[in-house]
Amino acid sequence: MCPCQPVCASDGDDALRREAILTVNTGSSSIKLSAYERSGMTLGNCLLKVNLSGLPNDMRFVAKTPEERLDRMPEALSSRVSHQKELVGALAKWAADALQDVDLRAIGHRVVHGGRDFDGPVLANKKILEHLRGLSSLAPSHQPANLDGVKGISRIWPEIPQTLSFDTAFHRTQPRVAQLYAIPRHLSEEGLLRFGFHGLSYDHIASQLEGLTEAGKRSRVIAAHLGSGASVCAMLNGKSIATSMGLTALDGVPMSTRAGSVDPGLLLHLMMDKGMSARDLSTMLYKESGLLGLSGISGDVRELLENSETAAMEALAVYTYRIAREIGSLATALHGVDTLVFTGGVGENSAPVRQDICAHLEWMGLQIDSSANDAGHREIQTPASKVQVLVIPANEEVVIARDALSVLEAR
């Protein structure tokens, strides 16, 4: 058992109390918390999910337990918006208080970039956090917020172990040929490599596939995590061997507001001939490109699907074409495809996007059942399809909680 002091202690019967792992996923505009029951070194049911989005000026709050749903912002949180790290702490404290007869034994955090030094979860300490802060320029939209979440929790519960789960860690199994850029070798040796992201999501997919695919027959998997950020990953026997993102989460397919892959010469042109600064380019590539830039309307797939303007339809056409082309590229890395998985907010919920992507992939013998796709079934290929096609909800939180348990066990 973890030697930390319990949280939410009461004078009640200790025998009736439960232990839990709290997970924290802090983004640039949202905070997500989940609490999972712990029994020894086994992860149990999800006790609570909290999502605070629209930070900092348009906050929307949703909390769910197995029994109820709360959509109104608690008064204890409505005034705690001076800094995100304070809000994380206040939200976590509210969640802990809402869980009656539950003791928090560890708190697990998502950290987007772990660089080449971390291939699995670790216990947070000052040295590690300082090192990770140095990687913020490689994930400016996520890393500072992730680390502020750790600091916010430390201020209210310094005695509780905090663990870090890295989006990059899942991809450390990739062969070196998949990690190297064709740049001067000394830069690669300094750590400028293709790392890949959304690893917690792909880790969850790999664990789910164990019960959804035929043993020994579905070892070559391509998963597409499509949300506001988007990437595609090739997995062989549950291990990442290639992915669309690289050193940063800016690479790969077009996203909501991120450009994805662009010709480096285009960036040189914008700097040398158009006078754009590095800061200007960063803003453009991270916040003004992707579906938003292509359409000039919105970065939200749902809004574009409802819009009949040519620019909206063209943006979606580029989006699905580029994703399908990336899947075709990764199929080469796998020497074929047995299973294609859609996950993430768009991947799970947008039947038209799945339909259009799969239409580009009919050459590989993939056939989608339109009725099953429109109905949101988990398995959406036809009986004649040579490729299994699955829709699996993303669940990064359960991976973070599982990681926290493994770190506690190793202490």
Residue by residue, DSSP assigns 222-261 as EEEEESSSEEEEEEETTEEEEES--SSTTSSS--SS---S
Report yes or no: 181 and 192 within 8 Å, Cβ to Cβ.
yes
109 is in an annotated binding site: no
193 is in an annotated binding site: no
108 is in an annotated binding site: no
125 is in an annotated binding site: no
What is the CB-side half-sphere exposure of residue 68 using CA atoms within 13 A? 5
CA–CA distance from 344 to each of 149, 341, 393 (Å)? 22, 10, 7
3-state secondary structure (DSSP) of residue 375: helix
Tokens matching residue 164: 């870090």
Max Cα-Cα span within the chain? 72
Calpha distance 94→50 (Å, rounded): 10
Burial of 8 (C-beta count, 10 Å sphere; 0-12/13-18/19+):
middle
How are beta strands 239-243 and 60-64 bridged, if at all? unpaired
17 is in an annotated binding site: no
226 is in an annotated binding site: yes
Report yes or no: 383 and 334 within 8 Å, Cβ to Cβ.
no
349 is in an annotated binding site: yes
300 is in an annotated binding site: yes
302 is in an annotated binding site: yes
**Cα dihedral: 279, 229, 206, 50 (round 10):** 110
398 is in an annotated binding site: no
Interacting residues of 94 by C-beta distance below 8 A, sequence separation 6+: 74, 76, 77
Per DSSP, what are the bridge partners of residue 35?
A: 22, 48
227 is in an annotated binding site: yes
217 is in an annotated binding site: no
- Enumerate the active-site residues: 167
32 is in an annotated binding site: yes
| Residues annotated within a binding site for substrate | 110
| Residues annotated within a binding site for ATP | 32, 225-229, 300-302, 345-349
| Residues annotated within a binding site for Mg(2+) | 25, 396
| Residues annotated within a binding site | 25, 32, 110, 225-229, 300-302, 345-349, 396
